[in-house]
Structure 1
Amino acid sequence: MSDDFELDTDDLERRMDGALASLRQEFASLRTGRASASIVEPIMVDAYGSLTPVNQVGTINVPEPRMVTINVWDKALVGKVEKAIRESGLGINPQTNGTIIMLPIPELNEERRRELTKVAAQYAEHARVAIRNVRRDGMDKLKKAQGVSEDDQKFWHDEIQELTDKHIALVDKALEGKQAEIMQV
């Protein structure tokens, strides 16, 4: 190999790992029928004259697999929190018991499960595109390098392709696992 050219494969791998980490984060936000505190976190409540995240007006708990509870700290805000949940588009009907709002998470129907698997596939495709963009960047650096022999170019080309194939396979495996989790009844 040439002494004057060394491609930073660690940087390429770190960037591809970042695409995988982002994918896992997106997968975590998909509702699979199990209760999670993260499904109510984006909800904003009109509290004290300004929009406030629901987790700043009460404690969010998941006491059982299909139930999220919000223990509202200020009794005057219970109605506003309940209204914000109804208007959030989650499709969950809150039930109030004093300052505790219970959110029973309904079973996902077959149609909704199929929609979620398509969303998961879109997330995976975005991750694949990000990985391929990192690959393209590495290939561009290789092409622009001065004085690299054909043998060295072939070696680095194969290294970049191997990294790409490995990460694409990890994306496919993560997608397969998430789709199985979504379709599980």
Structure 2
Amino acid sequence: MAEEENQIQKREILQNEENEEQLVLQFMDSLHNYLSLFDAFSSTLRQGWFDLASARHSMGASRINSRLLDLNFHSASTTFNITNFDGTQPSFTLRKWISSEHETAQLEDENKQPQDNNEATIATLSNDEQVQKEQAKSLSVFGILISPKLRDSQLSFEKALETLVEIANVRSSLLYSFHQLHQEVEDTKE
């Protein structure tokens, strides 16, 4: 009887050690992803600023400056959503290039499921066309002939924004892993 209890205790100890090792690996993997994404974010942002400076040089300082921007209130074309905020690990999503006139229609499209692959493809093409229209509309402030570097700058800043959302998700995962690891260590101390 004592041998069976010892074996059960040994199995429990081994299982706890495996759980702790798994949590440590998950934490370290999240930390690695977090640092890698920060490096990618820095690179993308640097490229965006470089492209913007290059566009300003080629188009002239009078065509790319803050005086051209309309400082009136506008609805956001890009939104940041938080899901699963019930105390567990939250998740963050980015909705880009949604004009106020198409936002309601797009929300309705997201709520209904496509009947077949053709509908899904048409919805994707329509969405891509809408994104291109909104991107062009945002650059129209700078005139008709837009420098390719200005478009590249816009894409770099969009990519940086997407990377920020990825960083937020990885940070959420990192904090969740840390909390689980900390809880596991506290449980084994007791």
Which structure has more helix as a fraction of its residues? 2
TM-score w.r.t. structure 1 length?
Answer: 0.30
Length-normalised TM-score, structure 2 = 0.29
Return the structure number with greater strand share: 1
